Chains A and B, each alone.
Chain A
Amino acid sequence: MRLNLMEAAGLLMVVSLVLAALFAPLIAPHDPVRAVAPTFGNPGPPSAAFPLGTDQLGRDVLSRIIFGARVSLAVGVAAMVVTVAIGVTIGLLAGFFGGSIDFVLMRFTDVMLTLPALLLAMALVAVLRPSLLNILIVIGLVSWTGVARVVRAETLSLAQRDFVVAARTLGAPSGRLIVRHILPNVLPTIVVMGVLGTSGTLLLDAGLSFLGLGVPPPTPSWGRMVEEATTYFRTAPWLALFPGLAIFYAVLAFNLLGYGYLRRRGRSRAPGATI
C-alpha cells in the first residue's frame, strides 16, 4: 500500500499528536497547571525559558498545549467512537430489516438532522454538567446521523447481493448475517467516516470548550485557552494564537488522512457528504 503525500502528512501529524499526548510529562518543559513564570497577573511574552509565553496565571503555554493534546485527542476520538457506534447500529438495523424498522429509524434520523447540533450539544452539556464522559456522549448523540444514512444505504445494497442471499438461504440467522457478512463489507466506509468524523468531533469539542462547556479546569484544553486569551487580545496576542494553531493542526491532520485516502481511491467525495 503506497500512501500519497496527503495521507503520509496526515498520518505523521496524527502520530505526532498521539506521541505528544502519551509522553506529555516527558516532553513538556514545565508543570501545565502550576504558576512557573515570575510574572503574575499578566501574560508573559515568548522567551527562552517559555517558548510560547506564559498565561495570565503564570503558567507555561507550551506545556499546557502539550498536555491539552491529551484531553482533545481523548474527547475527539472517543466522541467519534460513540458517533460511529450509534450511527452504524442504526444504519445496519434500518438497512438490513427494512420495512417499518427502517421507516421508524430513518424518520428519527430526519428529526435529529433537523436539530442544530451545536445548540443541542450546548443545551445538553449545560444541563448534564460538563464532564469528560458527558461531553463525549453528547457530541456522539448530536453527530451520528450522517454515519447512519451512509451505512443504511450500503447495507441496503449489500443485503441483496448474492453472497448474503446465499447465506440467508442456507439458514444463517440475521445476527450472523449482519456481523459476518455485511459489517465487514461496510467497514472501509466506516473507517473513512470515522477518520473524517474525528475532525468534526475535535472542532465541536473545541467549540464547546471555547464557550465554557468543555472539560472543567484545571485540565488544560485548547478551546478554553483561546477563550481565556481573548481578554488579552490587544496586550498579549500570542496567547490566543498558539492553542488555536494546535486545534487547527489536529483537525487538519485527520482531514488530510481522510481526504488523502479518498483521493488515492479516486473518490474526491466524502461518504455521507450531502449530494
Chain B
Amino acid sequence: MLGYVVRRIIFGVFVLAGTSLITFSLAFVVPGDPAVAMAGAKADPQTLSLIRSQLGLDQPIYVQYLRYLGRAIRGDLGRSYIRRENVTRLILERFPATLILAVTAMVLALVLALLMGVLSAAYHDRATDRLLLFVSLTLISLPVFWLGTVMLIGAAATLRSFPLGGFDGWRSLILPALTLALGLAGYYARILHTNLTEAMEQDYVRTARSKGLSWLGALFKHALANAVLPLVTLAGLDLAGLLSGVVLTETVFDWPGIGRLAFDAIFNLDIPLIMGTVLFAAFLIVVANLVVDLLYAWLDPRIALDKGQ
C-alpha cells in the first residue's frame, strides 16, 4: 500500500510539472509584449526595459521557467497585468462561490443519478428503462448555457422576486446548481445503469438470490456498492473539474466564481491570471486524482496489489 501511495504521489508531481510547462509556454504564444501590456503603449523605452528586468523577462527562457516554477510551488502565481493584484489572492477570493456551486451541483447530480440508475436497472429493457435512457440522452445533449438561459427565462416569467443572477443567498444557488447538475446526472445515470445490470449478473449476486434474497434486496445489499465504486472516481474528477471554474454556467448566472475570473482574464489577455487559473485547475485535478486513487485503493484493496498499473 505504501509503495502504491508513493507511486501515485510521484505521478501527481510529474503531471503537475508537465502542466506548468504547458501553461508557461502559453505566455509565449501570446503576441505582444508583457512590459507594454503593463506600462501602456506610450511608455518610453527606459521604463519598458526596467519593467522587463523587474519581471525577469531579459533572462533566458529556462531561467524564467524555473523562477516561475519556484514561485508557483510557494503559492505565488504572479501579479495580474490588468487588476494589479496577486493572482493567488484573486483566485482564492473567488473560490468559495465556485466551491458552493460545484458541491451543490455534484450532490444534486448524484442523488438524481442514483434514483434514475436504480430505477432503470430495476426495469431493465422495459418501458421505464427506455424512457429513462431517452431522458439521460436528452440531459447529456443539452447545451448547458442554453439550459441555464431557459431556466432564467422560465423563472423571470413565473416567479416574482426570484434572484436571476449573482450570488445572493441560497435561493440564488438553485438555478445554477440545477443547470450544472442535470447534464452530469444524465451521464452518471447511464453509467450506474450499466454497472448495476452487470453487477446483478455476477455469481455472488446469483448466489445471494438463490439463497432466497429478493431482487431488490440483492441490488441494495450486494450490487449497489460495487456499481457505485467506479462512480467515485468519475465524480471526484468531475468535481475537481467543476471547482476549476464552470465558465458557461457562471457566465449565464453572473456567478462571481473562478470561471468568470478566467473568462475576464482571457478576454483581457491577462497572461499571469490565465496561467494562474489554468494551473490552479490542473492542481485541483491532480489532487482529486490522488485522493480518488487512494480512496479507491482503500475501498478495494485489490487495486494497490496490482503492480501492473
Contact = CB atoms under 8 A, between A and B. Distances in A.
Given A116-B281, A211-B263, A268 B140 contact: no
A12 interface: no
B234 A274 contact: yes
Nearest to A236: B153
Interface stretch (A27-35, A38-46, A57-65, A117-125): A117-125
Interface stretch (B51-59, B74-82, B169-177, B242-250): B242-250
Contact of B245 (A119, A210, A226, A241): A119
- Chain A interface residue count: which class? 35 or more
Contact of A119 (B150, B231, B278): B278
A119 B244 contact: yes
B149 A226 contact: yes
**Secondary structure class of chain A's binding surface, majority of residues:** helix
Nearest to B197: A268
B142 interface: yes
Contacts, number: 141
Interface stretch (B22-30, B104-112, B213-221, B299-307): B22-30
A7 B145 CA distance: 27
Contact of A248 (B30, B142, B234): B142
Interface stretch (B38-46, B62-70, B188-196, B203-211): B188-196
Given A127-B26, A274-B233, A118 B19 contact: no
Contacts of A137: none
A64 to B, nearest CB: 16
Interface in B1-54: 11, 14-16, 18-19, 22, 26, 29-31
Nearest to A254: B141
Interface residues of B, number: 57
B234 A210 contact: no
Interface string A256-274: 1001000000001100011
A240 interface: yes
A163 B160 CA distance: 70
Contact of B150 (A114, A241, A273, A274): A241
Interface stretch (A94-102, A144-152, A199-207): A199-207
Given A274-B237, A275-B231, 19 more contacts: A110-B18, A115-B282, A116-B281, A116-B282, A119-B244, A119-B245, A123-B278, A127-B269, A199-B141, A206-B143, A210-B143, A211-B248, A211-B251, A226-B145, A229-B149, A230-B149, A237-B153, A241-B150, A268-B193
Interface of B: 11, 14-16, 18-19, 22, 26, 29-31, 133, 137-138, 140-146, 149-150, 152-153, 156-157, 190-191, 193-194, 197, 230-231, 233-234, 237, 241, 244-245, 247-248, 251-252, 262-263, 266-267, 269, 274, 277-278, 281-282, 285-286, 289
Interface of A: 107-108, 110-112, 114-116, 118-120, 122-124, 126-128, 199, 203, 206-207, 210-212, 223, 226-227, 229-230, 233-234, 237, 240-241, 244, 247-248, 251-252, 255-256, 259, 268-269, 273-275
> Top 7 A-B pairs ranked by shortest CB distance?
A244-B146, A111-B18, A275-B230, A252-B141, A251-B141, A116-B281, A237-B153
